[in-house]
Amino acid sequence: MKFIWGAILAFSVFFTANGEEEKFSIIRDAEIEETLTEMAKPIFKVAGLNPECVKVYVIDSKSINAFTIGNGHIFIHSGLLLKFQNPLHIVGVLSHETAHVAAGHVDRLIRVIQTRNQNLLAAMVAAIIGTTLTGSPDAMAIMLGYAMCDERFFLNYSRNEEFAADALAASYLLKMNYSPEVLTDVFYEFDHMDILNGGANLPTYIRSHPPASARISALRKFCTPKQGRTVDEKMTEKYNRLTAKLKAYLKPIDSRSLMPTDPYIKAIYLHKIGRTAEALQIMRKLAASNDIYHNEALAQMLYESGKIAEAVKIYQTICNSQTNTLIKIDYANALLELGQNIDTAIAILESAKYVDCLNGNVFRLLAKAYGKKGRIGVSQLMLAHEHMLLKDYRKAFEFLESSLEKMDKKTDESFIKKAKYLKELLERDYQLQLNPSSFRGRRAYVLG
């Protein structure tokens, strides 16, 4: 999936839950990610975590949810962002996910899953052997009973972690002078969804998360009248721009639909439906204010309409050491398309690959850049990196083998070392793939 807007890149994130792999499409936009990440940094600070480690991504999904996979990575669904007009509701959600990170729930639950899988596998082997030797189904029935008891223990463990994360989230909100009521409001919405979908009738012991009503009751312990703010006007202004922009991106393409009134959002939508000349006229006026994201939008529109040299000039003006990585990547892409300053593009992309770990496009662009420099072996190494991110390990292995044959032993020494290391890593992983039980699932902590 690729959005028409150049600053956005859809990429697949893979994580496993109970052994099953899932894919999500991420909406990549510099302003949206930066706004949400800035909202999360104060939470990380009060939680005793490094604020510079947090990164918030947006999932293209209508569902109202959020999750973390640890390491400061938080994912929030577009449906949740568009559901709540008050940004403090999102702060409440981010506080909950931060609590999972701070409390070490992700890493601890991985160990629980590993132990659980080992125990279940042992029970299954014993049951199969017992059934084969005795010819009786009793052994298999015992195994199923064990599996059900183990599953209930596992789900109860997960529910307890959620209550703990809620309590920590409430404490973070109070430290920032926000009311825990903002998180309670979110759970009211989950409770309403449960009722509508029949989930409220599910027995507690088969839920991976506590009922929303129980979480609301627990949070009430932290809420007293007029305790903490429920509104932040400065944050609201930025958040309104975020949600309006998100709506413009997700709005179906229809030239007959009602046009947005805000000039910035209107320009984005006009460009999306092919009325680029009108969009550029609006954006040129807005960019005169020196707002970095207005200038970024103008540069993207120019790039996509074929006016690459003009786009490069704008990128040169707005890009510095503090500029968002996504904008820098777009700048490098424009340089490569123009065929100028290839070394500058390489320097930008080499730096970006350590910052934006979910962006496979960085490696694709590096492959293009090194290819333009005639360094084919290094170019293929970058393609191997991209395919590793995409989990196409066999293709990655092929690129690594080819890159080692074509790299220069004198000028590409450091790249050769990296290629050999990755090749050894993949050779080991291929052995693991022969035994599915060797893989360890990574459960994401979801909000509801």
**For residue range 337-350, what is the model confidence (pLDDT) as tens digits?**
999 899 999 999 99
| CA end-to-end distance (rounded Å), the chain | 26
More confident call, 53 vs 23: 53
Q: What is the dihedral of CA 151, 155, 161, 162, to 10 degrees?
A: 160
Q: Which helix (H) or strand (E) holds 186?
A: helix 181-197
What global pTM score does this model have?
A: 0.78
User: For the chain, what is the mean pLDDT?
Assistant: 80
pLDDT value, residue 111 = 62
**CB 70 within 8 Å of CB 106:** yes
Q: How far apart are CA 2 and CA 272, in angstroms?
A: 12
pLDDT at position 130 over 80: no
Structure tokens at 32: 């949206």
**CB 366 within 8 Å of CB 346:** yes
pLDDT at position 149 over 60: no
Q: Which helix (H) or strand (E) holds 15?
A: strand 12-17
pLDDT band, very low/low/confident/very high, at 23 (cuts 50, 70, 90):
low
pLDDT value, residue 217 = 87
**Percent of the chain residues past pLDDT 90, beyond the cut:** 51
pLDDT at position 9 over 50: no
In the block, tokens 């015992």 appear at 142
pLDDT value, residue 392 = 85
pLDDT band, very low/low/confident/very high, at 212 (cuts 50, 70, 90):
confident
DSSP SS3 for 340: coil
More confident call, 216 vs 137: 216
pLDDT band, very low/low/confident/very high, at 26 (cuts 50, 70, 90):
confident
Backbone angles phi, psi at 85, to 5 degrees: -85, -25
What strands lie across the sheet with 55-59, from one edge to the other? 12-17, 20-27, 55-59, 73-77, 66-70, 445-446
Of 302, 296, 310, which Cα lies nearest the Cα of 8? 296
pLDDT band, very low/low/confident/very high, at 14 (cuts 50, 70, 90):
very low
Residue 199: partners with Cβ closer than 8 Å, 6 or more residues away: 193
pLDDT band, very low/low/confident/very high, at 402 (cuts 50, 70, 90):
very high
Average pLDDT score over residue span 240-267: 87
Strand 66-70, strand 73-77: pairing: antiparallel
pLDDT at position 195 over 60: no
Residue 408: partners with Cβ closer than 8 Å, 6 or more residues away: 375, 377
**CB 414 within 8 Å of CB 375:** no
Of 337, 296, 298, which Cα lies nearest the Cα of 318? 296
Average pLDDT score over residue span 425-435: 63
Instruction: Name the H helices within 60-137.
Output: 78-83, 87-102, 105-134
**CB 199 within 8 Å of CB 193:** yes
In the block, tokens 């994580």 appear at 15
DSSP SS3 for 359: coil
Q: Determine whether 230 is exposed, middle or buried from the number of CB atoms within 10 Å of its CB (0-12, 13-18, 19+).
A: middle
pLDDT at position 396 over 50: yes
Of 416, 238, 295, which Cα lies nearest the Cα of 7? 295
pLDDT value, residue 430 = 61
More confident call, 72 vs 221: 72
More confident call, 253 vs 92: 92
